[in-house]
Amino acid sequence: MIYCGPYGVRAYPLDLHTVSMTLQAKKNDLKSCYLVHGDPWEPYVSMRTVRMDKIATDDSFDYFRIIVKVPSRRVRYVFLIDKGKKQLWYSEMGLTPKKPEVGELGFPYFEILNNRKDDVFIAPEWAKGAVAYQIFPDRFYNGDKTNDPPNIKKWGKLPLTRDTFYGGDLHGIIEKIPYLSELGIDLIYLTPIFSSPSTHKYDTTDYYQIDPHFGDLKTFKELVKKCHENNIKVILDGVFDHCGYNFWAFQDVMRKGLKSGYVDWFNIYSFPIKTRPKPTYETWGKDLWWMPRLMTENPEVRRYLLDVAVYWIKEAGIDGWRLDVASELGHDFLREFRKAIKKTNPDAIIIGEIPHFASPHLEGDQCDSVMNYPFRQAVIDFFAKGTINAEEFDARLAKIRMIYKEPVNHVLYNLIGSHDTVRFLSLCGNKIEKMMLATIFQFTYTGMPAIYYGDERGMVGGSDPDCRRCMDWGELKGQKLKLFELYKKLISLRKAHPALKTGEFFTHFVDRKDNLYSYLRRSESQEILIVLNNSAKTCRVAVPSPKSWAGTVIDLLEGGKYEIVRGKIRASLGPYSGLILKTA
């Protein structure tokens, strides 16, 4: 079983003169693989043969990759594969024992012709490896008690219902910018801040008005300005798939029925409109009457929402959008959304909430990034619950990376928790050492590590609304202080070492029996080795030394020691601990 077509994630341009080629083959089926390539207009005999590197293995496939320079912006190519006992050629004609020949009607080869700028995936440079921080405004910090909603709960009391208010606001976030800056945050993502009757604000009443319990436009502009002064980007949550029951256009339809000029903005099943026992209109979720769905295929709806998105970039200077339920917005809408946003600010980012693999949304014409939920599940299963071993964990990661083009992997929003999920520490059974090890991995892996507010302070919580507790601003002690200091240390290491931020990822060593996991992050000038012991016992580790060994300790986490013996790094790692070494 072999595959590499001339499109998608297996063959694509990195820039106008560079192409990435990846061949996918049945696991352990190929001894080696070569790419034979050349310009389609050059003589047939001038084609070059280069060996491809095996870069990843998942539960079913091996992946071989090579990066090829194509000065002419055209490339013709075929694969020579070595199965040990025989060699075969793989082209668009399939597998053949003989090298394909030039035919009368063209070449029986794959071809990538005329690479153009719109074929290249381009995400904002600042986003590559950036550290993100998600804030649920009502629960972060109350900085202005004059705008508190009525009957707010005492800060810190558990939210027993989903409609509990605590008074967190934009002034509170402004007051805590020094905290975020000290932590090392590059980007804050705010869940919805527009006018809405709920605490979560995913039922928007007015997309042009800041909810008065959070502040006003002036306050929000001050927040963005002060964040920018501290080199922190700000993105907002765009809830464009649906609105709130009190949204002006829906209320117009409620009043006027079929005579409303906005009746086609929604999918109304029958009139008069009713909310119970079941709504007579399409909603987000199952019969959630307070969230009518917007028909984003309607040109008027689309124009309105694009104007909203552009307005907040121009008026307040935000740095992009996180799109709620982006998987339900439609590809055509997302393409127009991207054009409008990038025309306004080419450096703005678009992050889609898509709970599954999202390759179609990341071809360069829609989103820049997505919330990487498959990553989160792998981290939960390996570190928090221990339901998979190191080999299975590595296979899961490989599958995720191979689903996407390599430039995409550097900007994926790698979360381990959010306002919609159980807190990660709770999933760990409140064992902070497990969370610390998962955090070491999250911040040394490729992509954008994302912190859900309070995770760095050891906050716990079950399903919504419990995962939305008030931020704990109390004094940190013991294990929680160690966790907080670890976050600061890892972010600092990430900023100081380019390989940790934007370097390529390579599996180095996997021991499924003892759950030892080792990997490399490699940039042009630097190589860093990470070794993790995901077990409850102290382990003696013997990891093969990387070829380019310099032996500089960046950090020996949670004690332990190491030495080099006959080409191997021998380390003693305590339970749930790790070693980070700079090898070149």
Domains along the sequence of the chain with CATH: 2-119 (2.60.40.10), 132-241+295-498 (3.20.20.80), 242-294 (3.90.400.10), 500-582 (2.60.40.1180)
> Which structure tokens are listed for 290?
């307070």
Q: Could you please report the per-residue DSSP string of 521-571?
A: EE-SS-EEEEEEE-SSS-EEEEEEPPSS---EEEEEETS-EEEEETTEEEE
- Secondary element (H or E) of residue 331: helix 331-344
- pLDDT values of the chain reduced to their tens digit, one per residue, 584 residues: 787 777 788 888 888 888 899 999 999 999 999 999 888 777 766 788 999 999 999 999 999 999 999 888 888 888 999 988 889 998 887 888 888 776 543 445 556 655 566 778 899 999 999 999 999 999 999 999 999 999 899 999 999 888 999 999 999 999 999 999 999 999 999 999 999 999 999 999 999 999 999 999 999 999 999 999 999 999 999 999 999 999 999 999 999 999 999 999 999 999 999 999 999 999 999 999 999 999 999 999 999 999 999 999 999 999 999 999 999 999 999 999 999 999 999 999 999 999 999 999 999 999 999 999 999 999 999 999 999 999 999 999 999 999 999 999 999 999 999 999 999 999 999 999 999 999 999 999 999 999 999 999 999 999 999 999 999 999 999 999 999 999 999 999 999 999 999 999 999 989 988 899 999 999 988 888 899 999 999 888 877 766 655 555 555 455 556 676 666 778 888 889 888 877 76
Cα 89–93–99 angle (5° rounding)?
30
Question: What pLDDT score does 547 carry?
Answer: 60
SS3 193: coil
Residues labelled catalytic: 324, 353
> Which structure tokens are listed for 341?
């946003």
Measured between alpha carbons, how far is 417 from 317 in angstroms, rounded to an integer? 27
Measured between alpha carbons, how far is 288 from 501 in angstroms, rounded to an integer? 41
Q: Which residues pair with 540 in a beta bridge?
A: 572
Residues in the chain: 584
Question: What pLDDT score does 94 carry?
Answer: 84
Measured between alpha carbons, how far is 353 from 418 in angstroms, rounded to an integer? 11
Q: Hey, what amino acid is at 231?
A: N
The angle, 0 to 180 degrees and rounded to 10, between the axes of the packed helices 432-444 and 478-496 is 10
Please say whether the beta carbons of 98 and 87 come within 8 A. Answer: no
Measured between alpha carbons, how far is 184 from 356 in angstroms, rounded to an integer? 29
Question: What pLDDT score does 106 carry?
Answer: 43
Q: Which of 539, 262, 268, 239 is nearest to 419 (CA)?
A: 239
What are the angstrom distances between the C-alpha of 206 and each of 229, 257, 388? 29, 21, 46
Q: Which of 393, 334, 339 is nearest to 358 (CA)?
A: 334
Question: What pLDDT score does 98 carry?
Answer: 84
- Secondary element (H or E) of residue 218: helix 217-229
Measured between alpha carbons, how far is 437 from 201 in angstroms, rounded to an integer? 34
SS3 448: strand
Q: Please state, as a whole number, how many other Cβ atoms lie within 10 Å of the Cβ of residue 98.
A: 7
Q: Which residues contact 46 (CB under 8 A, 6 or more apart)?
A: 38, 39
Measured between alpha carbons, how far is 13 from 23 in angstroms, rounded to an integer? 15
- DSSP annotation of 381 reads I
Q: Which residues of 136-159 are buried (b: 16+ CB within 10 A; e: fewer)?
A: bbbbbbbbbeebebeebeeeeeeb
Question: What pLDDT score does 104 carry?
Answer: 41
Q: Which residues pair with 451 in a beta bridge?
A: 133
Question: What pLDDT score does 252 carry?
Answer: 98
Question: What pLDDT score does 549 carry?
Answer: 54
Question: What pLDDT score does 476 carry?
Answer: 97
Measured between alpha carbons, how far is 20 from 112 in angstroms, rounded to an integer? 11
SS3 152: coil
Please say whether the beta carbons of 357 and 329 come within 8 A. Answer: no
Q: Please state, as a whole number, how many other Cβ atoms lie within 10 Å of the Cβ of residue 344.
A: 15
What are the angstrom distances between the C-alpha of 438 and each of 40, 372, 414, 487? 48, 15, 12, 11
Please say whether the beta carbons of 293 and 241 come within 8 A. Answer: yes
Q: Could you please report the per-residue DSSP string of 243-299?
A: --TT-HHHHHHHHHGGG-TTGGGS-B-SSS---SSS-SB-BSTTT-TTSBBP-TTSH
- What's the whole-model pTM score? 0.94
Q: Where are the beta strands (DSSP E) in 411-503?
A: 413-415, 448-452
Read off φ and ψ for residue 275, nearest 5 degrees: -100, -25
Cα 80–83–86 angle (5° rounding)?
80
Work out the burial of residue 125: count CB atoms within 10 Å of its CB; fewer than 13 is exposed, 13-18 middle, 19 or more buried: exposed
- Numbers of helices and strands, H then E, in the chain: 13, 29
Rg (CA), the chain: 26
Cα 295–301–303 angle (5° rounding)?
140
- Secondary element (H or E) of residue 400: helix 390-403
> Which structure tokens are listed for 507?
């599996």
